Structure 1
Amino acid sequence: MARYQGVQHLRVKKSTTHSYNDTVPMEFTRALLVQARAYDKNVEAILQAARFPFDPLRQSAQTAFVSREQYSRLCVELVRALGDESGGVMPDVRTPVGTTRLILLSMLNSADLAAAIRRAIEFNAACRVRRGAELVNQLTVDNEHKEATLSYLHGDDAPDVQHSVLCNLAMWIRVCGWLIGQHIDIARATCAGPQPGMKAGVRHFFPCPVAYEQPVNSVTFSVRHLEAELVRDEAQLHEFLKLAPYHIVIEPQVSHLSVTCRIRAILGNDFCSELPSFEELTGLLNMSARTLRRRLEKEGTSYQRIKDNARRDEAITLLSRHGLTVSEVAERVGFSDPSAFHRSFKKWTGLSPGSYR
């Protein structure tokens, strides 16, 4: 899913785990146009083809957001101008326009997500255009720890290439979540490049711990998702692709089929009051405790993990705001003891709240 690039250089001000209300912050749009300029493409022509009413790179543009439709059209026009769905970030591994759609079509009739991912890897190995670059792309399963890892290594020493590859792995996980109608939570990630000077782009996709200067780029998630059946068909894929840049880069498309997403909606973003108990949750969802546990296990998660992730995501959003101390953020996400918040936040993200900020 390498087509939507420029994200690693963003100065993102809002966590993607919260609703953008179908709008896209201007930082994402400008990042696309900066990418176009880097490859000497006609920005004005791209904007005109995307039916943009103004130039986001000009200081006179005061609009803070664009619509998801505008952003998606701009991504498509950038790809067409470059003739490369990788956005030009991997010069030795060119991705012809239309490749992503064909990969997804090849995945649709797979028996489960594991088979779909392996089919995509096989497609990638056979059909992408190379010019001598080393590539490693594989899916591994750790049954002992009930984890799956999707890895991708491009034999280019440029740090930005590896950062982009890692972000693209996160995009593919979002696509996989759409295919099975489940939210796939990335537990941790590794990057083959050094820690970037501007971390917002990577954080946009990874609120979890990320280890840098590792042998490969990888994302690790619950192995239970690999057993899930695909719930999409070709007609749904056609509709999805119209706004794919928005749902893949900005905000994943929420599935009403996922009990995880339903629970996240119930929890909301207010953690000052006590959260529902598991027994109360079963009543809100109209499920028995046994059914709910089975559904959560099938989606590779638990109620405690969903609560932790909800607090984590809200804490990340609050830490990006000026004027709030770490203690105030801790209180707003339900921690009366700041030291307990520090310990939990470091467990969630691999960093202390102060370092993350």
Structure 2
Amino acid sequence: MPKTITLTERFGHLVTTPSPKKKIERDSISVSLVEAALRCAEMRGVAREHLLAAAGIAPATLDSPRARVSPVQYGKLWNATADALDDEFFGQDAHPMRRGSFVLLCHAALSSRDGAQALARIASFMRLVLDDLTFEPDIDGERVRIWLADKAAPKTMFAYATGFILVYGLLCWLVGRRIPVLAAHLRCPEPADSDEYRLMFCNDLRFRAARSFVDLSAECAALPVVQTPATLKRFLRDAPANFIVKYRNPDSLAARVRTRLRQTAPTDWPEAESVAAALHMAEATLRRRLKQEGLTYQTIKDALRRDLAIARLAHTQETIPQIADALGFAEPSAFRRAFRKWTGVRPADYRREA
């Protein structure tokens, strides 16, 4: 049996607040998920001030419902909350998921043959550490369905999301790619921030379902497990920030596309055809492989533009027209419309609240 290692021991080096540049280079997470984690801690007597300080999140950030934090910040909040509660499921189950459980789960699943066997081992392990919520795989030729068996009353949206992040993030890492999420139907009522959860799950996210389940692409069952004990060290070192915003494989095609885009000003971002040529593949191949990772070229560009806009509004004195021009919008009005679609508020209001 491998030695039990706490999240603090594994992730203790993640203590520095990311610079504005780092925030620009990453996706971001709604402050509503920060509030959800803090509420779990507060219900068990842990003050939010300590957790926010550990995560490098300014308390004033919570005053704006449309504010966002980086995955690294949210990952540190995740770890601080788990450490404070001695529960990696944040007290959302009758049985606590004690510190070190996720590390042991990774070791248990690492020697699996393929995605199907890995998912079975993950589900079996989670059944040992949780009482109220279990994960029951159901695999056929059309999809891989994970039943989220909530024995009593429906869980909260945040509880379903917490379990999904742990199971899905580990499974994606084991097979080395982001697995497309086809549908997610949950028993809980629709939360106010359901759009944020759709980013986490998929567009086909429905509420007040008769039973809770998540459908994954059928191909994941046959995908071989490609990770080793050596790569596990890197995965645990960066977890959970490396899979909180779905699963981010640093060696994936999407990561290579992001790297190329970050090296160029948004006004000069190339078309998909040029990116494909630079990566020595056909455009159709680029689009097909990105689809396998649950992304499109346009969604990658939109996410980068959104976070560039958020960082510039929060950390520079540039005017709205200047930011719009720098991000490649023909008119400031087009930028304002896009930003409101991304965050729900106008750029000027976001800057004032931030």
TM-score, normalisation: structure 2: 0.64
One-letter code aligned to 2:214: V
Higher helix fraction (1 or 2)? 2
CA shift at 1:199, angstroms?
2.0
SS of 1:94's equivalent?
coil
Q: Work out the CA distance in 1 between the residues paired with 2:97 and 2:170.
A: 17
- 1:157 matched to which residue of 2? 153
- 2:237 matched to which residue of 1? 242
- 1:324 matched to which residue of 2? none
Change over 3 Å in CA distance of 1:265–1:57 after alignment to 2: closer
CA contact (8 A) 2:110 2:118 kept: yes
Equivalences for residues 329-344 of structure 1 within 5 A: none
Residues 172-204 of structure 1 deviation map (CA, whole Å, 9 limit, x = unaligned): 223222222212221221112121233244234
- 1:276 matched to which residue of 2? 272
SS of 1:107's equivalent?
helix
CA contact (8 A) 1:165 1:217 kept: no
Equivalences for residues 29-48 of structure 1 within 5 A: 29=34, 31-43=36-48, 46-47=50-51
- 1:128 matched to which residue of 2? 129
Change over 3 Å in CA distance of 1:129–1:275 after alignment to 2: closer
Q: In the alignment, is residue 94 of structure 1 matched against residue 90 of structure 2?
A: no
One-letter code aligned to 2:119: I
CA shift at 1:220, angstroms?
1.8
Equivalences for residues 158-237 of structure 1 within 5 A: 158-160=154-156, 162-237=157-232
CA shift at 1:264, angstroms?
6.4
Q: Work out the CA distance in 2 between the residues paired with 1:241 and 1:175.
A: 10
CA shift at 1:260, angstroms?
5.0
Change over 3 Å in CA distance of 1:202–1:251 after alignment to 2: closer
One-letter code aligned to 1:143: G
Q: Work out the CA distance in 2 between the residues paired with 1:250 and 1:206.
A: 10
SS of 1:219's equivalent?
strand
CA shift at 1:276, angstroms?
3.4
Instruction: Say what the alpha-carbon RMSD is for the aligned residues.
Output: 4.9
CA contact (8 A) 1:224 1:300 kept: no
Change over 3 Å in CA distance of 1:205–1:24 after alignment to 2: closer
CA contact (8 A) 1:24 1:71 kept: no
Q: In the alignment, is residue 306 of structure 1 matched against residue 309 of structure 2?
A: no
CA shift at 1:40, angstroms?
1.0
Q: Work out the CA distance in 2 between the residues paired with 1:68 and 1:315.
A: 17
- Structure 2: which 5+ residue stretches go unaligned? 1-6, 8-21, 314-327, 330-340, 346-354
Q: Work out the CA distance in 1 between the residues paired with 2:237 and 2:271.
A: 37
SS of 1:39's equivalent?
coil
CA contact (8 A) 1:54 1:61 kept: no
SS of 1:193's equivalent?
coil
CA contact (8 A) 1:182 1:255 kept: no
- 2:319 matched to which residue of 1? none
SS of 2:149's equivalent?
strand
Residues 158-182 of structure 1 deviation map (CA, whole Å, 9 limit, x = unaligned): 552x552145314422322222221
TM-score, normalisation: structure 1: 0.63
CA contact (8 A) 2:27 2:304 kept: no
One-letter code aligned to 2:43: A
CA shift at 1:105, angstroms?
0.5
CA shift at 1:104, angstroms?
1.0
